[in-house]
Amino acid sequence: MKTFFVTGGAGFIGSAVVRHIINNTNHKVINIDKLTYAGNLESLIEIEKSDRYHFEQVDICDSSSLNDLFNKYSPNYVMHLAAESHVDRSIDGPGDFIETNIIGTYKLLEAARKYWSQLQDKNSFKFHHISTDEVYGDLHGTTDLFTEETSYSPSSPYSASKASSDHLVRAWSRTYGLPVIITNCSNNYGPYHFPEKLIPLTILNAIAGKKLPVYGNGEQIRDWLYVEDHARALYKVVTDGEIGQTYNIGGHNERKNIDVVRTICDILDDMIADKPENIQSFKDLIEFVTDRPGHDLRYAIDASKIQHELGWEPDETFETGIKKTVEWYLNNTSWWQRVLDGSYAGTRLGLGN
Ligand code: NAD
C-alpha cells in the first residue's frame, strides 16, 4: 500500500483522482485542500467512509502545516492539483492566482524537498505537478498541435501563473534533483464540474430556461477530455511515468465552443420533452456575448507520447462523454443545486446542511 498526497482533492479533477485511487487500488489517499469556493467535499461522498481516505483542510501556502503533513503521513507520491483554475476570475483578480499557483507551488516544493532529502530511499518518492495546455498559448493553424517541446507563451493571468509553477517544478528537479513529473492537459469536462465553466453552465442554464452565453463568435477551439480519462492518465503517469519527463494529455476531441453548446442542446432536446416556455429547441437560448480579453483561439494536444510510452488512451469520445455528462447533471440535481444556492459550503464547517 502506497500513500498518495492529492492537493486540491476537493476540486473537479482532484476529486476524480481521489475517487479513482480509492475505488480502483488499495492505496491510501490524503486529500489536502483549503476548500476555496471551488472545493466541495460533497464530490467525495461515495468514498469518504473509506479508512484509506483522509481529509486535511490545509492551505498549500502554509509551510508549517505542510511540513507537519509530510512528517505525519510519509507519502510516496504527491499529486499536485490545488490551484485557482478559472480564467475569467484570473482576469478580474489575479492576486489569488499568483498566491496559490506560484507561491503555493513553491511552498509545496520546499516542503517536499525537505521531506525527500531526509529519505533513505530517495527513489521511493515522486512529485507530480498537474498543469494545463494553456501554458503554450494558442494555435492559429488548423493542424498544428502542442507537443512536449512547444515553447511556453501563456496569455492570461491563469495560464501565466501555471506556466510559472511549471518552471519552478523543473528548476527544483534540475537544481536539487527532486524527482518530478509534469503533465499538461487539455480542457476537462464531466461530473462534479463547478457550474461556472462552459459545459456545466450551459447544461444548467438550459434546464432553467436561461440564456446560454457564448463568448465572441464561438469559433474558439478546445480539445476536450472526459475527466475520468484524465484521472486514469494521471494515476498511470505518477506510478509508471519516468522521472524528469513531461507528458501531454488530450482527448483528440477538438470542438468549437459553439458546437459544444449546440451538441448539449441537441442532447437536451432529445431527453427533455417538456421544454421551457417559448422555445422549440434549447438552441433558441444561445446568446453571443462580448469576447473574453486575450481569448485564445485554438488549443490542441499531441498526446502520442503518453500513448506510446505508457499505453494510455482516452476511453470516451466527445459524443459518449458529453452524453454521460448531461445525464449525470440531470440525475444529480441535489449536488449542483447545493452548489448554486451555496449550501455545499456548509459541509466544510461540519454543518452538513
Ligand atoms: P478546481 O478549481 O475545480 O479545484 C481546485 C481545488 O484546489 C479546489 O478544491 C480548491 O479548494 C483547491 N485549492 C485552491 N487553492 C488552494 C490552496 N491555496 N491550498 C489548498 N487547496 C487549494 O480545479 P480543477 O479544474 O479541478 O483543476 C485542477 C488542476 O488541474 C489545476 O492545477 C488546473 O490548473 C489543472 N488543469 C485543469 C484543467 C481543466 O479543464 N479543469 C485542464 C488542465 C489542467
Is 96 designated active site? no
Of 42, 133, 166, 229, catalytic:
133
Alpha-carbon distance 267 to 20, whole Å?
27
Query: Ligand 1: which atom is nearest the Cα of residue 134?
Result: 43
Give yes or no for a contact between 294 and 155, defined as CB atoms under 8 angstroms apart.
Answer: yes
Query: Ligand 1: which atom is nearest the Cα of residue 194?
Result: 3
Check pocket membership of 232 for ligand 1, CB cut-off 6 A. no
Nearest residue by C-alpha to atom 5 in ligand 1:
11
The predicted structure's pLDDT at residue 347: 58
Check pocket membership of 41 for ligand 1, CB cut-off 6 A. no
- Gap from CA of 84 to ligand 1 centroid (Å): 6
- Gap from CA of 247 to ligand 1 centroid (Å): 18
Check pocket membership of 132 for ligand 1, CB cut-off 6 A. yes
Alpha-carbon distance 264 to 107, whole Å?
41
- Gap from CA of 284 to ligand 1 centroid (Å): 33
Check pocket membership of 250 for ligand 1, CB cut-off 6 A. no
SS3 130: strand
Q: State the architecture of 3-190+227-253+297-317 in CATH terms.
A: 3-Layer(aba) Sandwich (3.40)
Of 134, 229, 254, 302, catalytic:
134
Check pocket membership of 199 for ligand 1, CB cut-off 6 A. no
Give yes or no for a contact between 191 and 19, defined as CB atoms under 8 angstroms apart.
Answer: no
Alpha-carbon distance 17 to 11, whole Å?
10
Is 133 designated active site? yes
Sort strands 28-32 and 3-7 into parallel, antiparallel or unpaired: parallel
Q: What is the pLDDT along the chain (353 residues), one digit of tens a residue?
A: 999 999 999 999 999 999 999 999 999 999 999 999 999 999 999 999 999 999 999 999 999 999 999 999 999 999 999 999 999 999 999 999 999 999 999 999 999 999 999 999 999 999 999 999 999 998 887 789 999 999 999 999 999 999 999 999 999 999 999 999 999 999 999 999 999 899 999 999 999 999 999 999 999 999 999 999 999 999 999 999 999 999 999 988 999 999 999 999 999 999 998 888 889 999 999 999 998 888 888 999 999 999 999 999 999 999 999 999 999 999 999 999 999 999 888 655 433 32
Instruction: Write down the pTM of the prediction.
Output: 0.96
Query: Ligand 1: which atom is nearest the Cα of residue 162?
Result: 34
Alpha-carbon distance 31 to 9, whole Å?
5
Give yes or no for a contact between 93 and 48, defined as CB atoms under 8 angstroms apart.
Answer: no
Strands in 254-256's sheet, in edge-to-edge order, are: 187-189, 221-226, 254-256
Check pocket membership of 200 for ligand 1, CB cut-off 6 A. no
Check pocket membership of 193 for ligand 1, CB cut-off 6 A. no
Using CA of residue 302, residue 257, residue 198, residue 203, what is the dihedral sign? negative
